Structure 1
Amino acid sequence: MSRALLIVDVQNDFTEGGALAVAGGDAVASAVSTYLSAHAGDYGVIVASRDWHDAEGDNGGHFADTPDFVDTWPVHCVAGTDGAEYDPLLETSAVTHHVRKGQGVPAYSMFEGVTDADETVGAVLTASGVLDVDIVGIATDHCVRATALDAVAHGVRVRILTDLIAGVGVASSEAALAELAHAGAELIESAQA
């Protein structure tokens, strides 16, 4: 049995100055790196995801010229661009699995992506005997929410490290955290982990 840390979408396009910048994104990148420097050894698996959208087309309706910011979005995290890369404040040397998601289709949860070895996150967790998952990253009200709900559905115990996440909106982030708590996720700060 082991624990996993899931780092959701800490990418240039989701941090300050990016195409879909989330306030506090750089602070999350830095804080996750600090947390990893002290706690990487506590985890048997560390997975980091990135949106990695196709350069051509609308990625299954995910991109739009006039986005509604609910189901459609401006162009972001295009494969091979700087916007799709990890934020430089995020230290990734301890990451055991890198996941890319959203290639040609909308994808919010890292469980919808695959590793460089074409494995799903669910398969990685199962193969490693993971029963407990801690989740950090961006954005609380979108991809963190979707990843956490999929982790709960996968049957692992889920903790959201609330000081290591950032959301798009205050109300939508609060609603997402309430939904996750109702689904069975535990909301704690990283000092309690």
Structure 2
Amino acid sequence: MGKALFIVDVQNDFTEEGALAVAGGDAVAAGISRFLGGHAGDYDLIVASRDWHDATNDNGGHFSETPDFVDSWPVHCVAGTAGAEYDPELDATAVTHHVKKGQGKPAYSLFEGVTDDGETVEQLLDAHGIVDVDVAGIATDYCVRASALDAISHGRHVRILTDLVVGVAAESSEAALAELAHAGAELVSSPGPA
């Protein structure tokens, strides 16, 4: 019965100064790095996702010049650009598997992506006997929410590390956390230094 940490979309375009900046993103990146410094060994897998959109199309309507910020967005996290890279405050050296999602289509959950070896997250978790999943990252009300709900629907016990997530807006983030708790996720603070 293994344990995994999901680090969701801690990318330059989702932190301060990015195309879809989330206030507090840099602080979450730094917090995750501190947490990994003392707790990386607690996990059998550390899976980090990145939006990794195609530059040559609208990615299934995901990109728009007149975004509604619900189903369509300004251009962000284009594959190979600085905006798609991990935030510099995130020390990704402990990450065991990198997942890219949204290649040519909208994708919110890291379960919609694949590893660098072409493996799905579900295949990865099954292969390693992962039962428990802790979730951190950006944004609570979008990709963190979708990733955690998918983990629950795939039969995993999920904990949201509430001090290591940040959302676009307070009201929608609170609603997302309430929805996740109702779905069976535990809302907890990350453990202190090891």
Deviation of residue 191 (structure 1)? 2.2
2:88 is aligned to: 88
Alpha-carbon separation, structure 2, partners of 1:86 and 1:161: 19
- Once the two structures are superposed, what CA deviation does each residue of 1:65-123 show, in whole Å capped at 9, x if it has no partner? 00000000000000000000000110011100000000000000000000000001111
Report the TM-score, using the length of structure 1 for normalisation.
0.99
- Once the two structures are superposed, what CA deviation does each residue of 1:145-165 show, in whole Å capped at 9, x if it has no partner? 000000000101000000000
2:5 is aligned to: 5
Secondary structure (helix, strand or coil) at the match of 1:164 reads: strand
Alpha-carbon separation, structure 2, partners of 1:170 and 1:72: 20
Alpha-carbon separation, structure 2, partners of 1:146 and 1:192: 26
Amino acid at match of 2:25: G
1:24 is aligned to: 24
Gaps of 5+ in 2: none
2:181 is aligned to: 181
Alpha-carbon separation, structure 2, partners of 1:163 and 1:94: 19
Amino acid at match of 2:17: G
2:141 is aligned to: 141
Deviation of residue 192 (structure 1)? 7.4
Amino acid at match of 1:89: E
Gaps of 5+ in 1: none
Q: How does 1:113-132 map to 2 (within 5 A)?
A: 113-132=113-132
Report the number of matched residues. 193
Report the TM-score, using the length of structure 2 for normalisation.
0.98
RMSD of the alignment, in Å? Answer: 1.0
2:155 is aligned to: 155
Amino acid at match of 1:62: H
Alpha-carbon separation, structure 2, partners of 1:42 and 1:57: 40
Alpha-carbon separation, structure 1, partners of 2:87 and 2:172: 24
- Once the two structures are superposed, what CA deviation does each residue of 1:156-181 show, in whole Å capped at 9, x if it has no partner? 10000000000000000000000000
**Percent of paired sites with the same residue:** 73
